Structure 1
């Protein structure tokens, strides 16, 4: 055998680890990375659970605020319609929505009342109490005891 052939067959000066050694080292690295990943995943899951909990709380507060807003809107509409003999249904049937009376400064109550009065006029509904109610004009004339005994 020549020197050239011996040099080819000779082991290199620094040997690379063989595949078995790499596999064992890779398994240890994977286990270490796996436990690190598990810890990271657990941390992310816990964080996500916290976000979901805060989201549910925010949704609950939003629903409560919507309910409160709707109740206040119904009250504001009832106040505006008071004395006009209009119902909220008739007001809505005429094409009016309470949302159209809400601006940047809040509810425009005066415009709402004016629209309610105009709508009542449009349908021929007289608002308020009759001017003759309680004045006695609808009652028969008063009688005395003597009138009552005479009729008997």
Structure 2
């Protein structure tokens, strides 16, 4: 069978323990390398890159999403409000504060938004979309995820 046709295996959460990094290299790729390669469509492509990344993991509960956000170095994700079709999360961490305070690059959270939308799609078994709102004054990112049902 061709490698392109093979079914991809899910990455076990425990496998992430094998990865160790400081994060600066990641930030350079994320904020300098990828936007140069992706061009004007980088925000949209990063969102779908996040969705695709979430599909690689077996996410069975909300705590798995929290764990992955922290393991990826994205920050501490916290559910702050839940309605029938909408969930609101805050992303908190010293790393988020530093990203939002940077004058060297424009921080964005599209990949995180895409990842969260797809991860919740897996949990709820319904289509989900996510938008993020950045409040630089209080160094906080808010994600609003809306589901189809």
**TM-score class, shorter:** under 0.3
Larger radius of gyration: 1
Which of structures 1 and 2 has the larger relative contact order (alpha carbons within 8 angstroms, sep 6+)?
Answer: 2
Q: TM-score, normalised to structure 2's length?
A: 0.18
Q: TM-score, normalised to structure 1's length?
A: 0.17
Q: Which has the higher helix share?
A: 1
Q: Which has the higher strand share?
A: 2
